[in-house]
Amino acid sequence: MAPYFKYELTPKDSRMRKADEAVLANELMKDAVETEEATTTCYVLDGGSLLHKVCWSKTGTYNDVIACYLGYVQKHYGCSVAVVFDGYAADLR
């Protein structure tokens, strides 16, 4: 993320100017609340792109593909995962 905040996002006089990192940090932390509570991480994954990462047998069944898919997700991301599929029609008749 550091390279993205190296320069301000709005140009001045047709040139990018150095960002004032302290101002950015102050704005990001303005409403932050410190807490001692443990936080849990939940991953939100693009289900379509994961289909290209999972290796399965060409002769496998749908159940085999699902088992490989779930195994990959659990191995790499654990149990706190939401897999999102988008771009499909609502009516799949």
Q: Give the residue ranges of the chain where pLDDT is below 50.
A: none
DSSP per-residue string spanning 45-62 = EEHHHHTTT----TT--H
Q: Locate the domains of the chain by residue range.
A: 43-84
Q: What pLDDT is recorded for position 74?
A: 92
Long-range CB contacts (within 8 A, 24+) of 32-38: none
Of 17, 92, 44, which Cα lies nearest the Cα of 8? 17
Q: What pLDDT is recorded for position 9?
A: 56
